[in-house]
Chains A and B, each alone.
Chain A
Amino acid sequence: MKGSLLIAGCFVSGCLSGWALAQWEITITADFATYVLYLLMFQAGISIGSDKKIKDVLSGIRPKLLLVPLATITGTLGFSALVSLFITRWSLFDCLAVGSGFAYYSLSSILITELREASYGIQAATELGTIALIANIMRELMALLGAPLFVKYFGRLAPVCAGGATTMDTTLPVITRYSGKEFVFAAIFHGILVDLSVPFFVSFFCSF
């Protein structure tokens, strides 16, 4: 819990700083977050490579690992369908399309805006695209911030499934930290499969 609060605090103070800088017309052009991510990946790599049990990890890749992306997809789509009952503004398939971004916010928001423009018109399509952007950024943040809690109450696979398509990059360091190094290869495998499923599911649900 302390860890989650600490990183949430870091995010909030980042938001406030970014907002304050924007008020003074200062914009950060360099993609700072990308370089921090690179540093993080390198560190995560070092901790995997220097691990003395690395051979056990590699020999642990089994067909049952396919169950992990399957859990992510069924869990996400099932609950996105449920929540559409409470969102009257959008149809079941709109909610499923947003949910099937699996935290891949850049791709899903662009796809939804483009695919919905013909049927909904540009205004509503942009609105749904923005919802997809915000929802999938939120999902990534939930995966990053919630990882310690998820492990505690739902087991060590929970941060992997929560991370959706991001478990091969952004959320991988957090998974390494809280689920353990044994789950790193499961997370990469999961991230690649879920990532590839995003354009498929988004265009499928936008066709209704």
Chain B
Amino acid sequence: MLIVIGIMFAGIAAGYLLRKAEFLQGIGKPVSYTIMLLLFSLGLSAGGNREIIDNLPALGGQAFLIAFAGTLGSILAAWAVYHYFFKEKR
């Protein structure tokens, strides 16, 4: 966890020092390619894990229900907080 945050701050420092460089302003595109690569490699380790694959049908349904409920609950609460406290007044 600390390594990850450290690397990000190194990136921030590098980006700050190089902020005058034109090519850095369009950094959004390469980030989305790396996100795809991350998802592919997460899939690679999940697909290769016997325990996860074997248990998926039996326990996956219950796990999905809880995961879905948690995600839905938090995005609804996020909507309320965003709507009442963060949205820019127009």
**Which A residue's beta carbon lies closest to that of B60?**
A134
Q: Is the CB of A154 within 8 A of B75?
A: yes
Chain B contributes a number of interface residues (CB within 8 A of A) equal to 74
Q: Is the CB of B53 within 8 A of A41?
A: no
B residues in contact with A1, CB < 8 Å: none
A residues in contact with B82, CB < 8 Å: 154-158
Q: Is the CB of B28 within 8 A of A177?
A: yes
Q: Is the CB of A139 within 8 A of B70?
A: yes
- A193 close to chain B: CB less than 8 A: no
Minimal beta-carbon separation of A108 from chain B (angstroms): 11
Give the 4 A-B CB pairs with smallest separation, nearest first.
Answer: A45-B11, A14-B43, A49-B15, A18-B47
Residues of A within 8 A of B (CB): 3, 6-8, 10-22, 27-28, 32-33, 36-52, 54, 64, 67-68, 70-72, 74-80, 82-83, 86-87, 89-90, 95, 98-99, 102, 127, 130-139, 141-146, 150, 154-158, 160-162, 164, 168-170, 172-174, 176-177, 188, 195
Residues of B within 8 A of A (CB): 1, 3-5, 7-19, 21, 24-25, 27-28, 30-32, 34-53, 55-56, 59-60, 62-83, 85-87
